Amino acid sequence: MSAAKHSQAMHFQARAGKEVRNAVLQRALQKAKPLFVGKRAKGIAALSEDKLEFEALRTACEDIRNRVLTDLDVWLAIFEERARASGAEVLWARDGDEICRHVVDVARQHGVTKATKSKSMLSEEARLNEALAAAGIRPVETDLGEYIVQLAGETPSHIIAPAVHKTIGDVEALFAKEHGRPVETRTSADIPAMAREAREVLRQHFLSAEMGISGANFLIAETGTAALVTNEGNGRMVTTLPKVHVVITGIEKIVPTLEDFATLMRLLPRSATGQSISNYVSLLTGTKQPGDSDGPEKTVFILVDNGRANLLGSAYQDMLRCIRCGACMNHCPVYFSLGGHAYGWVYPGPMGSVLTPLYTGIENALDLPHASTGCNQCGSVCPVRIPLPKLMHRLREEQVERGLRPWSESFGLKAWALVAGKPALYRWVMRRAARYLNWLADGSGSIRIFGLAPGWTAGRDLPVSSGKTFHELYAARKRA
């Protein structure tokens, strides 16, 4: 799979180890977590003021997404027809490389030297910025978080808050360098001034770029429309000012009607940021009309597979319902211990632990389905009810079925199965183990450093029993 070549997901353990020791990152994450969780909780609670129920809305959203997925061939045909009828061009891309080829071709046809971008996770899947730069076209990220990450030469660490891992000091250093001014000491009181500075720099890019590139939160089949949800207004800028607009979206992003879109909008912003609605919701159909003073003369949709079609009809089809709100990562204890970069590819958190192995190859992301405490916080907040822990379990099972687990694990499990299947042997082994652990603990009830698995006792003691097995204790109690 072509996506695999850019993935660092096989280095998850090493990266995770590094991130948990990164004090700056840990401070940023600890600051962000209660905000993310609190805002969503408030937004969801507010539904009851209008006598709306979260679970009923969830069911409606789940049904809308399932309706599309179970007949995706039909909905794609309808969307394509109507988008074309409205004057847009529709291209298809099998993978990231094909996305890049299409975008570069369109750019060349229209003499584009600079492209402003509204956030598109698919352009991250495709590493589009590198391809544009290599073709002599300057890509400018315009979502403030994406802009910061681009200046740092990094990738987003969160799908909604791409620069959540950056402190104000990091941002100041990047702005000073890019905007050609000395570094100043900044406190949170300076954040409006820093946002203002970015606004002024990016405004000039908006006005001069010949091409705008965006994703789409949804494609509306009924009208052949791209729906774009932003707070900053950059989505409006890149789809209003340049003469060419390229929309890059996954084939699974279709919703049937405007009514269905309205239903999803009751949960998308609330799940992402707790807002009842995002500041700007734009529905973009076709191209500039006769008499219009603004809007693109050319609109191109690139409908992307990159692993999605293979999930249809599979045990993982539920994952295609995802509307990319980020609630799963915002409620994940693993995400908030590591940040997004440890996950090694475009999507972090529980969503990434499922998508990365599925889109880049299960064998290329062996640790990710195990990066879970099984707490199901993600599953319980998901607005389209994706059973994320269940999908991670299924991926683990598939690793076993395909012989992808380390030999020591398979050997250990086989040995365990052998012992557990013979009660007498099991009791004998358990007695030996209980005595051994008690001897190691020297009767103190806990072990400071456990030599067989030192990692377990690096930050805590291992509590052990008094040297008796459960069977022995049970039998003793029964006698008493």
Partner 1 sequence: MSARDEILKRVRAGVGKDDFSARRALAEAYMAERKRGPQPTLGAELAVRFKSKAESLSSSVEVLPERAEAPAAVARYLTAGGFGLQAVITGDVAGLDWTGSGLTVAARPAVDADKVGISGCFCAVAETGTLMLLSGPETPATVSLLPETHIALVEVSRIVATMEDAFALLRAERGDLPRAINFISGPSRTGDIEQTIVLGAHGPCRVHLILTGTNP
Phi then psi dihedrals of residue 244, to 5 deg = -125, 135
| Residues 136 to 175 in contact with partner 1, rule: CB under 8 A | 142-145, 148, 161-164, 166-168, 171
Chain positions 381 to 400 lying near partner 1, rule: CB under 8 A, are none
Exactly one of 74, 315, 400, 413 binds partner 1 (CB under 8 A); which one?
74
Among residues 230, 241, 244, 382, which one has the least CA distance to residue 300?
A: 244
Cα(308)–Cα(305) distance, integer angstroms: 5
Tell whether residue 43 is a contact of partner 1 (CB under 8 A).
Answer: no
What's the farthest any 2 CA atoms get from each other in the chain? 94
Residue with tokens 């076993």: 400
Nearer to partner 1, 189 or 417 (CB): 189
Residue from 249, 271, 287, 372 in contact with partner 1 (CB under 8 A): 287
Instruction: Name which of 141, 145, 190, 189 is nearest 166 in CA terms.
Output: 145
User: How far apart are alpha carbons 404 and 256 in whole angstroms?
Assistant: 40
Closer of 273 and 438 to partner 1 (Cβ): 273
User: CB 99 → partner 1: shortest distance, Å?
Assistant: 10
Determine contact, residues 342/288, Cβ cutoff 8 Å.
no
112 part of the interface to partner 1, by CB under 8 A: no
Distance CA 465, CA 467 (A): 5
Q: Is 53 in the site for partner 1 (CB under 8 A)?
A: yes
Based on the shown chain and the rule CB under 8 A, indicate whether residue 56 belongs to the binding site for partner 1: yes
Interface with partner 1, residue 185, by CB under 8 A: no
By CB under 8 A, tell whether 93 contacts partner 1.
yes
By the rule CB under 8 A, 30 interacts with partner 1: no
- What pairing do the DSSP bridges indicate for beta strands 225-230 and 280-285? antiparallel
**Span from 86-94, 132-140, 386-394, 425-433 in contact with partner 1 (CB under 8 A):** 86-94
Distance in Å, CB of 75 to partner 1, minimum: 7
Closest among 391, 370, 387 to 379, alpha carbons compared: 387
**Is position 295 an interface residue for partner 1 (rule: CB under 8 A)?**
yes
Residue 292, interface with partner 1 (CB under 8 A)? yes
Burial class of 332 by CB neighbour count within 10 A (0 to 12, 13 to 18, 19+): buried
User: Counting contacts by CB under 8 A, is residue 192 touching partner 1?
Assistant: yes
Binder among 202, 329, 351, 365 for partner 1 (CB under 8 A): 202
DSSP state of 398: H
Q: What does the angle CA 128 – CA 133 – CA 134 come to, to the nearest 5 degrees? A: 95
Q: Which is nearer to partner 1, 50 or 401 (CB)?
A: 50
Residues forming a β-bridge with 139: 115
Applying CB under 8 A, does 366 fall inside the site for partner 1?
no
Binding footprint of partner 1, residue count (CB under 8 A):
107
Exactly one of 20, 41, 152, 309 binds partner 1 (CB under 8 A); that residue is 309
Torsion angle of the four alpha carbons 94, 100, 101, 105, in this order, in degrees rounded to the nearest 10: 130
Least Cβ distance, residue 459 to partner 1 (angstroms): 28
Q: How far is the CB of 343 from partner 1 (least distance, A)?
A: 20
Quote the least distance from Cβ 95 to partner 1, whole Å. Answer: 9
Q: Which of the stretches 217-225, 338-346, 347-355, 456-464 binds partner 1 when contact is defined by CB under 8 A?
A: 217-225
Q: Which amino acid, one-letter code, is at 388?
A: L
Site for partner 1 in 223-282 (CB under 8 A): 223, 225, 231-234, 236-237, 239-241, 251, 256-260, 262-263, 265-266, 273, 276-282
Q: Check if the beta carbon of residue 214 is closer than 8 Å to that of residue 250.
A: no
Q: Please say which residue, 284 or 355, places its beta carbon nearer to partner 1.
A: 284
Q: What distances in angstroms separate CA 15 from CA 154, 162, 341, 342, 344, one per listed residue?
A: 15, 18, 8, 5, 8
Angle at 335 between CA 330 and CA 340, to 5 degrees: 100
